[in-house]
Amino acid sequence: MSSQDKTLLLFLLGVLLFASPLVAWWSRSGAPWYLPYLLWGTIIALAWVVQWRRGRHDL
Amino acid sequence: MISEIGLLYAVGVAYLALLFFIAHAAEKGWLPGRLVHHPLVYTLSLGVYATSWSFYGSVGFANTEGYQFLTIYLGVTLAFLLAPLLLAPLLRLVREYQLTSLADLFAFRYRSQWTGVIVTLFMLAGILPYIALQIKAVTESVSVLTRQDTPHLLALGFCATLMLFAILFGARHITPREKHEGLVVAIAFESAVKLLALLAVGGFALFGVFGGFGGLDAWLTAHPEALEALYEPVREGPWTTLMLLSFAAAFLLPRQFHMTFVENINPRSLQTATWAFPLFLLLLNLPIPLILWAGQATDLQTSPDYYVLGLPVAADQGWLALFTFIGGISAASAMMIVTTLALAAMCLNHLILPAHYRQQSLPRNNLYGWLLWGRRVLILLIIGMGYGFYWLLEFNQGLAQIGLISFVAVAQFLPGILGLLFWPRANRVGFIAGLMGGILVWLLALIIPLIHDSGLPMVDFNLMRWMGAEEENRWAFSTFWSLTLNSLLFVAGSLLTRPTREELEASQSCRREQLTPSRLLGDGEIRNVEQLHTNLSQVIGPQTAALEIQRALGDLKLDSREQRPNELRKLRARLERNLSGLMGPLLARMIVDNRLEVPPQTQVALADSLRFVEEQLEHSTVRLKGLAAELDTLRRYHRQVLHELPLGVCSISSGGDILIWNNTMAVISGISSSYAVGQTLDGLKDPWDGVLRTFINGDDRHLYKLQLTVDGRQRRLNLHKAAIESAGLGSSVAHGLGGMVVLVEDLTELHNLESEVAHNDRLASIGRLAAGVAHEIGNPLTGIASLAQNLRYEKDPAEVDLTSRQILEQTRRINDIVQSLITFSHSGEVPRMRPAPVNMRACVDEAIHLVQLSDSGRDMRCLNEIPDTLIARGNAQRLLQVFVNLINNALQAGRPGDRIVIRGEYALGSVEIQVEDEGSGIPESVLDRIFEPFFTTKPPGEGTGLGLSVVYSIIQDHGGMVYADNLPEGGARFHIRLPAVEEETLA
């Protein structure tokens, strides 16, 4: 899978988590206060992995 | 409690002085380059995104809208996740075409002065409330600290200090190529300060107010409504709308565009920013709920918008409050400085300069100074207007609300930017129509109510009320309707009208699909750098023109004597880009077009096209996939084959430009490929210009054994040419292709080898002749000796006379033999053939005479049946060797006493000579190999295999031909054809 494909997949994952009906699921009553930050942090970590693997010559 | 406004002002000024020092240190190189250029510094500088709204307003926003405040940063995260597909192409465009703002970018793509003007005015209108918001935040933060009203003077002082900073560190260089490193480092420092301040307040809330995580959990358990108040709006509010707004704001807000693209020092830093900038935003927002709950837990009396400051103040944490105050100043000042710089660049390029250009009132002297001062005055004006806005409007809305008005404004550029990157059909009509539609909705839905609610005289009109949508969320309403109308008009306008040629060209540049270079100089236009300078001076003054040309020459590593058309074309394109950095893309185009005119019918130089396509393909390797990648590999293979071919290859377009000049050609000619490609034939050094032109224009498709002196060395070359039929090429790039391909064979080494072979052959022949020569000279010598002896005793004068004549006769015989030998031995040393009429009968006679001197030739029966009138054009000495070799060959093929017949005649304007023997003939299998060097049918040690190859070589040199066949009755026959000299000519 090319780095651009990974970038796109990651973006779609971000959209799924933060701009889809899934938002209603993770924001349900009883969710811990830090849950949005946890999801956000996960996306950032994945972005770091993709960037780290992309190497230095792609941008 | 800090009650002294003066003290706070002093702290603020001291902090800004520290910023001055940091920026100055970076500019002066006092800070290590590794630090200044570090990707994390770039990432932190993007933190200019977080303004007072984020620093103070997030808590207030969270209080009313719960976790929806996170959308303002999650949208940015999504935009940065897409950096390789969305931001990197924009960064490339901005750097490559030296664009200084979003207005430049749109004007570059949509090619209209109106595009730049509308974008600039709309951006000004959209962002001024945002600047006012920063001033409001700073003054209100002072109020929170001092618990008294802040005098307007403080706001004015704050604005004045920022003006000074922006002028000193943001408007130092006029060209975008010289980055404001000081500014970048200072903004990064400000981001670090505001992050640390928020984290410190968050830490205080967690540990100072709640006593740690346990305390926080206990409080949340006791107050479940506090957590629910954060989550509930997420499920019910305009979450997706806000995400979309912040997605657009991430790179379309003037300050974001400026720091992400214009001030980007190293493009690779953007890779790091894809994860590091979202991480910065996450850390910045982590303390927000804690501060909100701490404020609620301690029942703070301040507005939630200022809980960040109110919390340490209420807890009497003086130092923490002061640090937080500095964090707030950081957030506000960074935003104001960078936004002002970006807006000043837009106003200068799209409002001020075009007006001056139209009135032809651009200064002729010191344009740079004029531009720099223009930008400085604009900085003063913009901050001044921001202050005026703050002063005029009674903001009775929260910080986030005012910020969101600006976000909806910049979101109107989203359709335009998507069209710019992905839709070639998008054009200025669609863009302007869409933008105007979006602006209209924005004004009616957001601005008019804002002004009305602020107490200023304004009609009480609300679009939401008018459309019966009062119950809807106003952000969702305004964003949806403005973007929908914008997009519909954009698409409709673009589909109903056709993009101009310039727009199509720009769209290709934007999508990196440009396969022909644009804007090239036509033939018959600018001929040298001096002319370029003269023309350019008429607009921008001689001094600026000289500096710009010098800079462009330096960029391209050319010198001022440059006259090559291709290089001048490139220089012109480079000048346009550099001027674009100074004055915006449209004005640069106007100046270059008007002063360095290109006739409309001018075609792009083919050489440039080919090179451009090659460069494009080199750069887009990573993007080629499937069949395209296979084709690219094939292209590279063919190119490599062409370049490594051991034959010189050069191809010349129909316009006379050199397109291909391979490695061997470079070795043969002594002209490097990089120099030759793109040149016209005139640009090549002597003798190649003349040789190639004569050959290309001549009728002959082949030119053999051409002698040239290249770099003081004699070379012998064969030239071949073929026309390239453009019909067979097909593609649009190949339009106008055609021209000529020339192959150059270097025969110098072969010729040297042949000369050596011929020399050896002669030496061998002389050796064979030696015995016969001795015998032939011996006989007359004996006769001379006898006659001389008789002469001593002879008294009769008549007898003496007779004897002496006989001696002279014998001497002449010896002399003839010696002369023949000398002639023969020198026959290969004629450096340059000088053709002259040669009597073939006499030549063959002499050859027979020479051969008869040898042992084997003594019994030869050689019949010379060539008529005395047969005259060929050639070199007598070299033709002599031809016949000696052929007669020797015939002798060796036959038996002693066999007859050799030599015949000749004129045939078809040539001299035809046949040498026939009665030997065994030549085996059919070797007939076509007998002229190869060292080929022999004799046993090893008996023949050198050189004789016939020398014959072939000499006849070729004469422009004739030689071949052999077998006689039906046995024996071989050699046919020689030589250029004839007709009898009439001789007469």
The model's confidence at residue B491, banded by pLDDT at 50, 70 and 90, is: very high
* ipTM score for this prediction: 0.94
pLDDT score recorded for residue B129: 82
Say which range, B327-336, B523-532, B563-572, has the weakest mean pLDDT.
B523-532
pLDDT score recorded for residue B146: 81
| CA of B467 vs chain A CAs: smallest distance (Å) | 27
Task: Find the CB nearest B275 among A37, A44, A58.
Answer: A44
Task: Find the CB nearest B243 among A18, A33, A51.
Answer: A18
Say whether pLDDT at B158 is over 60: yes
Most A CBs within 10 Å: which of B274, B281, B286, as the mutation test of the A interface? B274
Tell me what the mean pLDDT of segment B581-605 comes to. Answer: 64
Q: B59 near B291, Cβ under 8 Å?
A: yes
The model's confidence at residue B178, banded by pLDDT at 50, 70 and 90, is: low
**Nearest residue on chain A to B267, judged by CA atoms?**
A59
Say which range, B145-154, B345-354, B508-517, B762-771, has the weakest mean pLDDT.
B508-517
Q: Do A29 and B231 touch (CB under 8 A)?
A: yes
Say whether pLDDT at B858 is over 90: no
Q: Where are the domains of chain A?
A: 3-54
Q: How many beta-carbon contacts under 8 Å exist across A and B?
A: 91
Q: Do A19 and B243 touch (CB under 8 A)?
A: yes
Element (H, E) at A9: helix A3-18
pLDDT score recorded for residue B596: 62
> What is the per-residue DSSP string for B514-547?
--S--S-PPTTS--SHHHHHHHHHHHH-HHHHHH
pLDDT tens profile B804-847: 888 888 888 788 777 767 766 665 554 555 688 999 999 999 88
Q: B83 near B250, Cβ under 8 Å?
A: no
> Which of B177 and A20 is assigned the larger pLDDT?
A20
Distance CA B351, CA B113 (A): 9
Task: Find the CB nearest B84 among A23, A33, A58.
Answer: A58
Distance CA B563, CA B540 (A): 23
Say whether pLDDT at B361 is over 80: no
Using the 8-state DSSP alphabet, how is residue B978 labeled? E
Tell me what the mean pLDDT of segment B111-115 comes to. Answer: 86
Say which range, B610-619, B628-637, B688-697, has the weakest mean pLDDT.
B610-619
**Nearest residue on chain B to A48, judged by CA atoms?**
B275
Task: Find the CB nearest A27 among B82, B235, B285.
Answer: B235
pLDDT score recorded for residue B600: 41
Helices of type H across B698-796: 748-793
Q: Do A51 and B272 touch (CB under 8 A)?
A: yes
pLDDT score recorded for residue B482: 93
Say whether pLDDT at B278 is over 90: yes
The model's confidence at residue B437, banded by pLDDT at 50, 70 and 90, is: very high
The model's confidence at residue B929, banded by pLDDT at 50, 70 and 90, is: confident
The residue to which tokens 């019910």 are assigned: B236
Say whether pLDDT at B602 is over 50: no
Q: Do A51 and B228 touch (CB under 8 A)?
A: no
> Which of B50 and B712 is assigned the larger pLDDT?
B50
Q: Which residue(s) pair with B708 in the sheet?
A: B715
- B interface residues, A as partner, C-beta within 8 Å: 67, 70-71, 74, 77-78, 80-85, 88, 91, 220, 227-228, 230-231, 234-235, 239-240, 243, 267-268, 270-272, 274-275, 278-279, 282, 285-286, 289, 622
pLDDT score recorded for residue B509: 77
What's this model's pTM, rounded to 2 decimal places? 0.68
The closest alpha carbon to B105, from B120, B121, B92, B94, belongs to B94
pLDDT score recorded for residue B118: 92
**Nearest residue on chain B to A33, judged by CA atoms?**
B227
Entry field: residues in chain B: 987
pLDDT score recorded for residue B597: 53
> Which of B430 and B678 is assigned the larger pLDDT?
B430
Entry field: residues in chain A: 59
Tell me what the mean pLDDT of segment B212-240 comes to. Answer: 89
Say which range, A16-25, B354-363, B616-625, B774-783, has the weakest mean pLDDT.
B616-625
pLDDT score recorded for residue B775: 66
Q: Do B271 and A4 touch (CB under 8 A)?
A: no
Say whether pLDDT at B601 is over 50: no
Q: Do B235 and A40 touch (CB under 8 A)?
A: no
Q: B192 near B186, Cβ under 8 Å?
A: no
pLDDT score recorded for residue B625: 67
- A interface residues, B as partner, C-beta within 8 Å: 3-4, 7-8, 10-11, 14-15, 18-19, 23-24, 27-29, 31, 33, 36-37, 40-41, 43-45, 47-48, 50-51, 54, 56, 58-59
Q: Do A51 and B240 touch (CB under 8 A)?
A: no
Average pLDDT score over chain B: 82
pLDDT tens profile B15-58: 888 988 898 898 888 888 888 889 999 999 999 999 888 898 89
The residue to which tokens 């490599």 are assigned: B640
**Phi, psi values for residue B156, rounded to 5°:** -65, -45
Region of residue B970 (left: phi > 0; alpha: psi -120 to 50; beta: else): left
Say whether pLDDT at B486 is over 90: yes
